[in-house]
Amino acid sequence: MELNHADSNDEIYTGVLRYKDDDYQFVFSDTKLRLIPCSEEQRSSMWKFGMKEITKGTYTQDEPPRMEEGILVGNCNESSKQIIFLPKKGAYISKQNSVLFIDLKAYIICKYVRDSIDRISFNAPEINCIHPTNQAIECTLDIEAFMNSGTFSVTARDFECTTTKRQPFVVDKKNVSVHFGISRTMSTKIWEPPMTLSSNMMFEFDATDDYRFVLRLWYIAKQFIQFLCYRKNVEFSKVELAAPCEDGTHETFAELYVLDEGVDTEIQTLKDGRYIKQAYISGHEGQILSDIASEKLYLRHLPDSFQSGKHIDAARFVMITAAFEWEFARLFPDGICKSKERVEAELIVSQKLNELIDTSSGKTKKIYKSLLKCIERRPSLANKIEKIGSDMGALLEPFGQQLYGFNKEELNYTDMGKRLGDQRNHFAHGDLDKDFIGLSLLDLIFLQRIIYAMQLKISGLEDKQIQRAINDLFQCRFAI
């Protein structure tokens, strides 16, 4: 049975699986799994489902049961192949007549039954661009021969030339590695191209039968590609699972389908080159993935799509500034270092205020305490942006000067920080009567590039590679 991701939701599967020590016939289509009791005895007692026995023979309506199983394993009638369902743990199980309805997160179609998994391979149009498929071929063209007879030769390069080095990262205290490679498919069929190239991103790990861990890796992989494309609407066209072989190789035996909402791949953004190439982050993929797995890398501000990213509303404005604040705290965990003179001056003022607090009462005392908090409080958004301008100005200058120059404005981090801080506070405090600070929108566009520079800097990339990544992702059109 061959199943394409695009039409997987149109398929209907039937078979038998075991749940709660009973056999059920299952029917799976769309995102719902239906369980039908196999025996007449089971069907006749299904009225007790969701009921609570208060005394012997007396029942009352109770809260519907929740799904506690991590996986459900069934055998398909259509193909005799195994299908593994991954339910939404903790979700309510509904019932209609004697049929149970189970909400699913994912399912796995197995070509063969295997005990463990040690590799997961991802395919997507975005991956084909991030690790370009064209690097796998070499063309030899003799102009005269081509003009006279139309002949030329195409040679596929060997796997070693197109496979990246494995980079380690950690997920839930388990060691995983990531690498990219390019697969080749030959065909002699008339309706298929003679050679098809496809880039793969592969995660390898110690052999496991923990399918929930495999699903966790799927989500981490998706966030990684979303980060490299600065948009959420990415979708894997194929996800294959492999089992370990005795000779150290891997045997592909199943495909994973995650029941997320379907999205339309933005092919035009890929044609425009709006993504970060693997070559720019080479050697640092593991660090980025570790930060994603541990939720250190801020991704909540990513737009749903490239088109939606062009529109800024109050919520998105606040989320982008929040992303900056988060990444600033990672880049400067000790905060902004103050000058010796500043520290001494603050100490003198704090001592004076403490003396006044000790000798005051009532509202006067509260005012003195609030003044003391002003001295002790953390740096403002404006202070942080000014600090970034001071420390990373050389890296960011080409992008800032270009952006502000196009709009006949001057890049000034102090003014930029004040505008962003004031407008962010207007939105956060509901000051609808305040006029929108027009230039803060230009500042926010630049801030998105600053955030990527900070994130990539934390991941260990060199400045030149960071500039190349930002240049491509935001189509700044610099020659770097």
Single-letter code of the amino acid located at 406: F
Residues in a beta bridge with 106: 86, 258
pLDDT of 61 > 90? The answer is no
Quick one: pLDDT at residue 151? 80
Whole-number Å distance between alpha carbons of 58 and 295? 49
Strand pairing of 99-110 and 195-208?
A: unpaired
Quick one: pLDDT at residue 7? 43
- Average pLDDT score over the chain: 87
Lowest-pLDDT range, 224-238, 280-294, 318-332, 422-436?
A: 422-436
Specify the higher pLDDT residue, 228 or 64: 228
Quick one: pLDDT at residue 376? 60
What does the pLDDT average to over 415-439? 89
Spatial neighbors of 107 by CB under 8 A, at least 6 apart, are 28, 83, 84, 85, 86, 256, 257, 259
pLDDT of 374 > 70? The answer is no
Whole-number Å distance between alpha carbons of 276 and 227? 9
Quick one: pLDDT at residue 57? 64
pLDDT of 53 > 90? The answer is no
Specify the higher pLDDT residue, 254 or 158: 254
- What is 406-458 written as a DSSP string? HTT----HHHHHHHHHHHHHHHHTT-TTSPP-THHHHHHHHHHHHHHHHHHHH
Quick one: pLDDT at residue 171? 96
Q: Give the torsion sign (CA, 433, 439, 445, 446).
A: negative
Half-sphere exposure of 229 toward its Cβ, with a 13 Å CA cutoff? 32
The gap from C-alpha 293 to its chain's centroid, in whole angstroms, comes to: 9
Quick one: pLDDT at residue 59? 65
Whole-number Å distance between alpha carbons of 11 and 458? 45
What does the pLDDT average to over 219-237? 96
> 207 is written with which tokens?
């052999």
pTM (2 decimals)?
0.87
Quick one: pLDDT at residue 1? 32
What does the pLDDT average to over 337-362? 74
Quick one: pLDDT at residue 5? 41
Specify the higher pLDDT residue, 302 or 372: 302
Quick one: pLDDT at residue 355? 77
Specify the higher pLDDT residue, 402 or 43: 402
Quick one: pLDDT at residue 6? 38
> 421 is written with which tokens?
């801080």
Under the banding of pLDDT at 50, 70 and 90, the label for residue 52 is: low
Quick one: pLDDT at residue 338? 64
Strand pairing of 82-87 and 72-76?
A: antiparallel
Quick one: pLDDT at residue 302? 96
Lowest-pLDDT range, 69-73, 78-82, 439-443?
A: 78-82
Check residue 46 and report its DSSP letter: G
What does the pLDDT average to over 458-467? 96
Under the banding of pLDDT at 50, 70 and 90, the label for residue 351 is: confident
What does the pLDDT average to over 310-327? 94
pLDDT of 248 > 90? The answer is no
Under the banding of pLDDT at 50, 70 and 90, the label for residue 60 is: low
Q: Give helix then strand counts, H and E, for the chain.
A: 15, 17
What does the pLDDT average to over 59-68? 75
pLDDT in tens, 266-285: 899 999 999 999 999 999 99
What does the pLDDT average to over 100-106? 91
What does the pLDDT average to over 330-355? 75
Contact 222, 234 (CB under 8 A): yes
- Helix (H) or strand (E) segment spanning residue 223: helix 211-229
Quick one: pLDDT at residue 37? 87
pLDDT of 202 > 80? The answer is yes
pLDDT of 146 > 80? The answer is no
Quick one: pLDDT at residue 120? 98
